[in-house]
Structure 1
Amino acid sequence: MSLTPTFAILPRFLGVTFEPAARFSVAGVPFDIGTTNRAGARAGPLAVRHASRMLVDGDNPANWRDPRTLGLADVGDFALALGDIPASLALIEQQAARFPHLVAIGGDHTITLALLRALARRSGPLGMVHFDAHVDTWPDSFGQPLGHGSVFYRAITEGLVDPRRMIQIGIRSPVARAVYEWTLAQGVRIVSAEEVHMTGPQAVADLVLATVGTVPVYLSFDIDAIDPGQAPGTGTPEVGGLFTWQVMAILKRLGGLDFKGMDVVEVAPAYDIAEITALAAASVVWQYLSLQS
C-alpha cells in the first residue's frame, strides 16, 4: 500500500478503479499543464493532504460537526495523460463520474472543466460559487483553447453552469474589459475582493444565497482568492485579496445550499511558506465538508 497520506487521516480506497463505497470521496488531481504563469500545482494534492493533519482534533465549533463522520474516504490520485490537456480532461471526467459526491484537490483550475462535465451529466446546469482572483472567462489561455484562464468561459458556453446562478468572489486581477463585460452580460455576479472587505462576510454570504437559490450548486475555490500574504503558494498571486478569516466566515454561512461537489485548486507548494497555503486549502475543504449532513 502507498504511504501517501490521506486527507484528514481518512480511510483509504486502494485505487479509483474500485467502485466507491463512501458518500463523499476526496481525490487528488495532480495536473498543472494548463497554467499560464508558474507551474507546480501538480504537487498540491500531496501538500494539502499533509497539512490536513491539523484538522483531526475534534468537531467544527461553527456547527459541532466532524466531517470525518460523514462516510468519507480518500480515493487517491486520478490518472492523467502526460502532457496532453484534452486527453487528461477526458480521463478526469471519466473517473469523476463514478463518485456520487466528489471533493477534488488540484492541480490547476483547468481540472474544474472536466469535473463540471461529469457532474452536469447527472445534475444538469449547475449553480456556481467561485472564489478566485481571476474571472477565468477568457475565451482562450494565451492562444490555447483549454487552460486555467478559460475554464468558466467553456463551462458557460457548454451549458455546464447557469451563469444567472453563478457568483465569483475575490476578483481583482488585471482583465480585458471585453472579457469582464462578457462575463457580466451572461448574468454572472462578480464580487471584488474590495467589496468583500468593505461589506463583510455576512453580506457576501447573503448575496451568494440570493444568487444561487435552491438549484444544485458546485463550489470551486482557487487558492489565489486569498491574499498572497496569507497564501503565497500559488502560481498567479494577486495582491489585495481575501483574508482566511473572511473565507471561513463566508463558507460557514452557506449551509443552506444544495452542494453537489467542490474543488480547491492552484496550491503550488514550492512557493509556500510553513505550509500556510496548503493549510488554508485543507481548511476550505474541511469547512465545506462541515456543511454537509
Structure 2
Amino acid sequence: MTLEMNPHGPLPGDNAFRRESLKGTQWEPTYAGALSFMRRKYTRDLTGVDIAVTGIPFDQATSHRPGTRLGPEGIRKASAENAWGPFWPWNFDPFDTLAVTDYGDCFFDWGRKENFPQRLEDHAAEILASGAEMIALGGDHYITYPLLRAHARKHGPLSLVHFDAHRDVEPDDGGRIDHGTMFNYAVKEGLIDPRASVQIGIRTVFTGERTYGFRIVYADEVHDSSPAAVADIIRQVVGGNKAYLTFDIDCLDPSAAPGTGTPIPGGLTYHQAASIIRRLMGIHFIAMDVVEVSPPYDHAEITSLAAASLVMEYLCLKAAARGARAAPFSE
C-alpha cells in the first residue's frame, strides 16, 4: 500500500491525537507516529465509548524478574504493526463496530506501594462509571485484584476465566501485595465465584494451595485437547454468569513469550490460546486484562506482539457478539 493508493483517504498521521471519529481505522506508517493502543484516540472523555484501554505500569508485586511496569508501553508499540485494517482470521475490523479509546495509564506514587490497590480501584471506577467497559494492559498480575474489586462492585460476583502458568492462590498471612496470592483474597471477598471459574494452562503446583472449586485445565490437558473442547469446558463452567478474562502472558510457552517474569516451559502456543478465545462466543465478558509482559526480557517484541494480538482477539469476539461479520472477498 502506498500513500497514493491508501483506500482510507488522506493520511494526517498521529491518529492517536488527530482522529475525529472514535470508530474505524485510519492507516498510517507502522514505524512512526504517536503510539496509543492500535492508534486509538488518547482521551479521558468517555462520551460514546464502548471500551477504554488503559495501562497499569506496576511491577512492585513481582516475585522474580521485574520489568512489567514497561508492559503497557511495549504492548502499545507492538500493536502498531496491526493497526491498519481487518484482523485475521476474523476478517473484519472490530473498530468499525466498537468505539474504543486509549485512556492512558493509571498514575500512582511508586513510593507508596500500600496505596496502589485503592488507587487502581478508583481508576477503574472512573471508567466504569461512564458506562464504558475496560481492557487493562499490565503490569504484573496483582493488578487483577483491584480491578476485580471495581468490577464486582458494579456487577456482583464474577466468573474468572484465567489463562496462566500459575494459579495465583498461594497461601499467605493476609494483606500482602503479591502477584502469586491475590486470588485467595478475590475468593474470600466474594469478588469471584470459584465454582463458576476456570484456570487454563496451569503447570505449577505450590504447597498449601486450595482448589477453591475452580475448574483447572492443566497445560497437558490443553495439549491433549482441541481448542473447541477447551472452549466447551469454559462455557460449561461459566454458564450464564458475567465473566472477567485475565490473561497472564506466561500461559504461553517461553518460546512464544520469553518477555515475562516467571517463564515456565510447556505452555500454550499463541495459536492454541487465540483459538480457544475465538470459540468463547456466548460468554458474557465484561472486561479483560493482559498482564506480566516484561519488555526487558523480550526478543524482537514477540511477547508484546502476542499480548497486543490477544487483546485484538478479545475485541473481535466482542464485535462479533454485536453482529460484526467477515467481509466477503471480491473477485
Please say whether Structure 1 and Structure 2 have the same fold, judged by a TM-score greater than 0.5.
yes
Instruction: Name the CA distance, whole Å, in 2 between partners of 1:84 and 1:197.
Output: 42
Query: Which of 40, 53, 58 is equivalent to 1:10?
Result: 40
Secondary structure of 2:224's partner? Answer: helix
The one-letter amino acid paired with 1:68 is: F
Distance 1:80 1:273 in 2: 29
SS at match of 2:266: coil
Larger radius of gyration: 2
CA distance in 1, matches of 2:148, 2:251: 20
After TM superposition, give the deviation of residue 20 of structure 1 in Å.
5.3
AA partner of residue 76 (structure 1): G
Matched, 1:261 2:287: yes
Stretches of structure 2 that go unaligned for 5 or more consecutive residues are 1-15, 18-32, 323-331
- Residues 113-192 of structure 1: matches in 2 within 5 Å? 113-140=145-172, 145-176=176-207, 178-179=208-209, 182-183=210-211, 186-192=212-218
Give yes or no for contact 2:159–2:243 (8 Å, CA) kept in 1.
Answer: yes
Q: CA offset at residue 98 of structure 1?
A: 2.0
Aligned length: 284
Indicate which of 100, 122, 127 corresponds to 1:94: 122
Structure 1 residues 1-293: aligned runs within 5 Å: 5-13=35-43, 16=44, 18-19=45-46, 21-69=48-96, 70-99=98-127, 100-140=132-172, 145-176=176-207, 178-179=208-209, 182-183=210-211, 186-292=212-318, 293=322
CA contact (8 A) 1:228 1:239 kept: yes
Give a deviation string over 1:247-292, Cα, whole Å, max 9, x none.
1100100121101001000000000000000000001100001111
Structure 1 unaligned segments of length 5 or more: list them: none
SS at match of 1:264: strand
Q: CA RMSD in A?
A: 1.8
Q: In structure 1, what is the Cα distance between the partners aligned to 2:68 and 2:95?
A: 26
User: Which SS does the other structure have where 1:262 is aligned?
Assistant: strand
Shift of 1:4: 5.4
The percentage of counterpart residues that share the same residue type is 45
Report if the CA contact (8 A) 1:55-1:286 is conserved. no
CA distance in 1, matches of 2:93, 2:167: 33
TM-score (norm 1): 0.92
Q: 1:195 is paired with a residue of what secondary structure?
A: helix
Distance in 1, matches of 2:47 and 2:161, equals 26
Provide the C-alpha distance between the structure 2 equivalents of 1:215 and 1:86, rounded to a whole number of angstroms: 32
* Contact 2:78 2:308 survives alignment (8 Å): yes
2:35/2:80 contact within 8 Å kept:
no
Q: Secondary structure at the match of 2:126?
A: coil
Q: Secondary structure at the match of 2:194?
A: strand
Q: CA deviation at 1:57?
A: 3.1
- Structure 1 runs, 4 residues or longer, greater than 4 Å off: 1-4, 18-21
